[in-house]
Amino acid sequence: MAKKPPRISAFEESIVEKASKLDDNLKKLEEATADKSRLKDVLIENIVSPKFHDRTAPSKASILELAKNIQAVGLQQPIVLRKLENGQLERIIGFRRIEAMKLLEKKEIPAIILEGISDADATLMMVSENLQRENLNVYDETVALLEFVAVSLNKSTDQIKSFLFKIKNFYGGKIQELSEEEKESHELINIILERTGKFNIQTFINRLRVLKLDQIIINAMRDNKITYSIAIELQKLKDSSKIQEIIDEIAERGMTTKEIVDRVELLNGGNERARLSHFKEIKNIFNDAVYKKLPDESKREVDQLISRLQELLK
């Protein structure tokens, strides 16, 4: 006799049911956006921005690159709009495509127009699309995932952040027990995150510190000037001008991770090792060839600095 499958608990059944509903909803929305019978050309000036604040921000360079691609081979994918009750057409998917078409001075753009789409479903579609973008930087990926989890659970992002920090305290032993509702939310969030193939709830909680980064650092990440690990290191500096100074230097000549770590330590009044490393760095970038190329005024400034340094070292 074949063995009966193990009976799942009411708690597990609830988790499976809610995860299944989310999958079904996403599938229906994907099918709707693939329906070419809804396709028509729309005046770009008639498209309104979504109520939901799309926090991801593609760089101007990526939009320019897309515009060149559209000019060469045409627009490969239509945008997705929803018709509001007042008759207006609101963007759901396609911000980069719209901006690229504007650069090309196009008046119209092909669009899939959906009707009867709720705010929640529109948000779910938008965030899902953001997560599929190529080369999505760490900050925008984190924001998009947070939004996706929030919409999936019908919560605000602040509620999800607060809950995740509570889970962090639970893992750390500061909270002894979770309610049944909190356990269910924990499992659902973990399922959603694990489906990305990159996160579980613990690793995502660690990633949330990216939300506290200085705006200068966020902008540099969006422009692919620095990596996530470098961003976390630069956040140790309190002076925004010093942060920008290092970012500019990275862009101009490149810096190793060790150089950046040592510079941050030095600027924060760091240890002797960092100071010695800084002297070595100056030695590496300054030599006779570099000096000879300097304009006369810069040479005079360098001479004065060297004289002052010699006096201090006597």
Q: Would the pLDDT of 2 be above 50? A: no
Q: Give per-residue pLDDT as tens, 148-199.
A: 888 888 889 999 999 999 999 998 888 888 898 899 889 889 888 887 778 8
pTM above 0.75, yes or no: no
Amino acid at 167: I
CATH number of 35-117: 3.90.1530.10
Nearest to 48 by CA among 86, 77, 10: 86
Q: Distance between CA 172 and CA 189 in Å, rounded? A: 19
Exposure of 4 by Cβ count < 10 A (0-12 exposed, 13-18 middle, 19+ buried)? exposed
Q: Report the chain's mean pLDDT, rounded to a whole number.
A: 83
Amino acid at 298: S
242: Cβ–Cβ under 8 A, 6 or more apart, which residues?
Answer: 267
Do 122 and 30 form a contact (C-beta atoms < 8 A)?
no
Question: Structural domain boundaries of the chain?
Answer: 35-117, 137-211, 213-313
Q: Give per-residue pLDDT as tens, 197-254.
A: 788 899 999 999 999 999 999 999 888 889 999 999 999 998 999 999 999 999 888 8
